[in-house]
Amino acid sequence: MSEVGSLKPEEDAFGQKLWAAYKENQVFEIVERDDGYIDAMSLKGYFSGYEDWQFEQKAMKFVKGRVLDIGCGAGRHSLYLQNEGFDVLGIDISPLAIKVCKLRGLRKTKVISIEEVKFQPDSFDTIIMMGNNFGLFGNFKKARRLLKRFHNMTSENALIIAVTRDPYKTDNPAHLEYHKLNKEKDRMGGQVKIRSRFRKYVGRWFDYLMVSKEEMKEILRATGWKVKQFIDTEDAQYVAIIEKDKLIVSRKRK
């Protein structure tokens, strides 16, 4: 999963999980980290609706205009916004995820990686990266490169609404050790190298980036974006409402 190039069917482990959840009510997601740590999570959340949400309800209130949903999964946010009358494009690297979105009624979709996202200037007013998808920025450098690109393809008052987790808010020794090793390798502490597994399907290894609020501000610095507001949750997860930094734009114009 991730980076450039379309997924081969045997690599679309995440899509296979969504497909199984959609068709057979298969509900577990297995994620493998490169230190061997295995996590199993319920897939139910990917099919949840507005009434099931808490912090996401608050986040959706900020959405305006034309929306790009990056890594839309089974399309829960795109479908909600489409039903509310927004013009939404859901994109995902997984062909099967996009198939599920279409079957669930999402009208505008595209199989594409975040790496390949390139649209004309002023194409969107809101970019959403839900379900921890700030992580799709992968690493510090790539995040800054993509943020600058997103600046160009969005309108003057555009917002990015992105969810992540503060990786350091944990007392799990395996995670704390992983952050330490990452930093020794000159990676961000929460830059987790993971892959998705499902039955015989094995996803590609990719970096998923979890950041603290301070790290997020550092990533955004001088990209043309800044944090407008954070929405906290009961645990380490939080939403960042990110707006254009007008100061940077006006300085650039001079």
Closest C-alpha to 17, from 73, 66, 65:
73
Please say which residue, 188 or 209, places its beta carbon nearer to ligand SAM. Answer: 209
Q: How far is the CB of 195 from ligand SAM (least distance, A)?
A: 11
Q: Kindly report the number of other CB atoms within 10 A of residue 89's CB atom.
A: 21
* Contact between residue 89 and residue 108 where contact means Cβ atoms under 8 Å apart: yes
Nearest residue to ligand SAM on Cβ basis: 131
Angle, CA 229 vertex, CA 226 and CA 230 arms, to 5°: 110
Site for ligand SAM contains 132 (CB under 6 A): yes
Rounded to whole angstroms, what are the CA distances from 241 to 129, 130, 204?
11, 11, 30
- Does 190 help bind ligand SAM (rule: CB under 6 A)? no
Closest to ligand SAM by CB, 106 or 158: 106
Helices (H), the chain: 13-24, 55-60, 76-83, 95-103, 140-152, 173-184, 213-220, 246-253
Q: According to CB under 6 A, which residues from 108 to 127 bind ligand SAM?
A: 113-114
- When asked if residue 72 is in the footprint of ligand SAM (CB under 6 A), the reply is yes
The residue from 13, 14, 100, 231 that contacts ligand SAM (CB under 6 A) is 14
Smallest separation (angstroms) from ligand SAM to the CB of 78: 9
Is there binding between residue 13 and ligand SAM (CB under 6 A)? Answer: no
- The reply to whether 2 sits near ligand SAM by the rule CB under 6 A is yes
94, 154, 182, 191: which one contacts ligand SAM (CB under 6 A)? Answer: 94
What are the phi and psi torsion angles at 225 (to 5°)?
-125, 150
Q: Is the separation of the CB atoms in 188 and 209 below 8 Å?
A: yes
Tokens of 61: 């209130």
Q: Is 131 among the residues that bind ligand SAM (CB under 6 A)?
A: yes
Which is nearer to ligand SAM, 100 or 216 (by Cβ)? 100
By the rule CB under 6 A, 46 interacts with ligand SAM? yes
Using CB under 6 A as the binding rule, whether residue 136 contacts ligand SAM is answered as: yes
Any idea how long the chain is?
A: 254
Binding residues vs ligand SAM (CB under 6 A): 1-2, 14, 46, 71-73, 76, 92-94, 97, 113-114, 130-133, 136
